[in-house]
């Protein structure tokens, strides 16, 4: 498992070994059969030899699948403001693949992950994916990071008939009805997370719906969370036009305008929902604390380790009143599945602290590995899609059953709540 070094695109793949020999053997066998059929019913020794040769010849290759390997691709942010998520996603997948490879792989094939950096920049995503497809011959993409990057990655996968599995994004654009044939999501949606945030603030914390603001990244990621939060607030009687909505630009932590918008309405606000990556979310929370704004903060699905490190290193007081919605349970849980995850992570990445993103990757990998195991050695993309769609009621021991169907390509609907502590650890809480 490795990170691929960028190189010029356009390298050609050679013809599968044995394909020409197979064609000649079959043609010769057919001609011999026509000549011999008139005088005998049993195949000759020459015909038997040709049949044996044809049976041994390699079948045409599926891209990314060889006799001993299945190649998976990942394009994620390994640089820039969201690099922690990309790094953690890769580590989580590597931990899961290393464990299955150590046990012998999938029907004799090892799983290999090849990763490239797009810096959370959509302009770099498709060129990186093309390099992995045309240069490295990957079979499927797993764990790509980001919503704006997914917006360009999905059309490319559709053109190439490539599985786009388990992206780190809860955006609406990945959750079509009917679902995109090649797209399979593991996590709950951003809209579901944001709606759960509103319910927790209003039903558990008893905050009036009209006293909740939303700060969202200015792209499809932020808009997906905004739609979930605003729909729930409208259901509770707050018109969308009355909700304070502030934003910041993707790939920056410049939240000054958002802070000013909240400050101006501060006397009328008790909570802020942040649909933001971990660094701008942490920056907003620090500035809000410094300005004594006093709200309750709910961060939607930010990387837990990145967020806690950013806040706690600045001082324990910045961790006050911070809750995070997550698409996975607490990684310090004593559930059997979570113990297996921690063991795999410790073995594959010694010293890496368990976190939400590595756990999300590990859970998604378990579903895919199980589908590959059920599918057998006769593997191609269409068969894998059908096998995934037949996966239902899967209980890994995380507190939610997982599965897909032809009409639903999202494995999990559950949203968990984590409360940040001053020492940087989290406590799991019930959101409802």
pLDDT digits (tens, 9 = 90+) for 255-290: 999 999 999 999 999 999 999 999 999 999 999 999
What is the pLDDT, as a whole number, of residue 3?
Answer: 55
CATH of domain 190-326: 3.40.50.2300
Stretch 399-422: mean pLDDT: 97
pLDDT digits (tens, 9 = 90+) for 155-196: 999 999 999 999 999 999 999 999 999 999 999 999 999 999
Please tell me the distance from the alpha carbon of residue 415 to that of residue 308, in angstroms, as a whole number. Answer: 19
**pLDDT at residue 302, as a whole number:** 87
What pLDDT shows up at residue 24?
A: 33
| Per-residue pLDDT, 1 | 52
- What is the pTM (predicted TM-score) of this model? 0.83
pLDDT in tens, 313-346: 999 899 999 999 999 999 999 999 999 999 999 9
The whole-number pLDDT of residue 394 equals 96
- Give the pair of three-digit tokens for residue 246: 């502030």
Average pLDDT taken over every residue of the chain: 89
The better pLDDT of the pair 377, 16 is held by 377
> Number of helices (H) and strands (E), helices first, in the chain?
13, 13
At a CB cut-off of 8 Å and minimum separation 6, what does 157 contact?
129, 141, 163, 164, 182, 183
Cβ–Cβ < 8 Å for 426, 308: yes
List all residues 6 or more positions away from 197 whose beta carbon is below 8 Å from its beta carbon. 229, 273, 298, 300, 325, 431
Q: What is the DSSP letter of 41?
A: S
Verify cis geometry, omega within 30 degrees of 0, for the bond prior to 356. Answer: no
| For residues 399-420, average pLDDT | 97
| pLDDT computed for residue 86 by the predictor | 96
Please identify which residue in the block is written with the tokens 């701008």.
Answer: 280
Query: pLDDT per residue over 202-236, tens digit each?
Result: 999 999 999 999 999 999 999 999 999 999 999 99
pLDDT reported for residue 48? 53
> Does position 30 have pLDDT exceeding 50, yes or no?
no
What pLDDT, on a 0 to 100 scale, did the predictor assign at position 301?
86
Q: Average the pLDDT over 13-22 and give the result.
A: 38
Task: Report whether pLDDT(16) > 70.
Answer: no
Cα 167 to Cα 146, 186, 308, 402, 432: the distances in Å are 7, 8, 23, 16, 27
Sign of CA dihedral 54, 57, 62, 67: positive
Could you give the CA distance from residue 284 to residue 280 in angstroms, rounded to a whole number? 6
Q: 396: Cβ–Cβ under 8 A, 6 or more apart, which residues?
A: 337, 363, 366, 402
* 69-187+333-412 and 190-326 in the same fold: yes
What are the structural domain ranges in the chain? Answer: 69-187+333-412, 190-326
The pLDDT tens digits for 79-119 are 998 899 999 999 999 999 999 999 999 999 999 999 999 99
Q: Mean pLDDT across the stretch 15-41? A: 37
109: part of which helix (H) or strand (E)? none
Q: Pick one of 1.20.140.10, 3.40.50.2300, 3.40.50.300, 3.30.830.10 as the CATH number of 69-187+333-412.
A: 3.40.50.2300
Tokens coding 180? 């995109």
By percentage, how much of the chain surpasses pLDDT 90? 83
**What's the rounded Cα separation, in Å, for the pair 217 and 300?**
11
């Amino acid at each position: 498992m490795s990170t691929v070094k960028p190189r010029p695109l356009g390298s050609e793949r050679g013809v599968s070994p044995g394909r020409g020999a197979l064609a000649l053997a079959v043609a010769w066998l057919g001609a011999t059969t026509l000549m011999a059929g008139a005088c005998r019913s049993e195949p000759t020794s020459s015909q038997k030899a040709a049949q044996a040769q044809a049976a041994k010849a390699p079948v045409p290759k599926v891209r990314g699948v060889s006799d001993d390997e299945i190649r998976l691709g990942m394009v994620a942010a390994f640089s820039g403001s969201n690099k922690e998520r990309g790094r953690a996603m890769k580590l989580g997948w590597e931990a899961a693949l290393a464990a299955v490879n150590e046990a012998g792989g999938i029907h004799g094939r090892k799983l290999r992950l090849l990763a490239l950096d797009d810096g959370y920049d959509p302009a770099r995503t498709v060129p990186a994916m093309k390099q992995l497809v045309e240069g490295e011959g990957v079979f499927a993409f797993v764990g790509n990071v980001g919503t704006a990057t997914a917006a360009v990655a999905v059309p490319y996968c559709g053109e190439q008939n490539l599985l786009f599995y388990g992206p780190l994004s809860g955006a609406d654009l990945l959750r079509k009805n009917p679902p995109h044939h090649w797209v399979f999501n593991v996590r709950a949606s951003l809209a579901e997370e944001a709606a759960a945030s509103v319910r927790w603030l209003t039903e558990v914390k008893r905050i009036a719906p009209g006293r909740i603001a939303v700060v969202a990244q200015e792209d499809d990621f932020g808009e997906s969370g905004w739609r979930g939060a605003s729909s729930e607030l409208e259901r509770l009687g707050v018109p969308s036009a009355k909700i304070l909505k502030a934003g910041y630009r993707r790939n920056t932590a410049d939240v000054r305008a958002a802070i000013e918008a909240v400050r101006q309405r501060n006397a009328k606000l008790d909570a802020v929902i942040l649909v933001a990556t971990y660094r701008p979310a942490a920056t907003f929370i620090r500035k809000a604390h410094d300005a004594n704004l006093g709200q309750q903060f709910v961060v939607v699905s930010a990387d837990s380790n990145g967020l806690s490190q950013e806040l706690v290193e600045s001082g324990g007081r910045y961790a006050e009143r911070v809750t995070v919605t997550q698409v996975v349970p607490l990684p310090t849980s004593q559930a059997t599945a979570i113990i297996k995850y921690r063991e795999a992570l410790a073995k594959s990445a010694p010293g890496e602290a368990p976190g939400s993103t590595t756990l999300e990757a590990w859970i998604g990998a378990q579903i895919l590995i199980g589908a590959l195991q059920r599918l057998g050695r006769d593997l191609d993309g269409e068969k894998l899609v059908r096998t995934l769609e037949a996966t239902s009621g899967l209980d890994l021991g995380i507190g939610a059953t997982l599965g897909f169907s032809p009409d639903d390509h999202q494995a999990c609907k559950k949203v968990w709540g984590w409360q940040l502590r001053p020492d940087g650890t989290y406590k799991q809480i019930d959101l409802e």
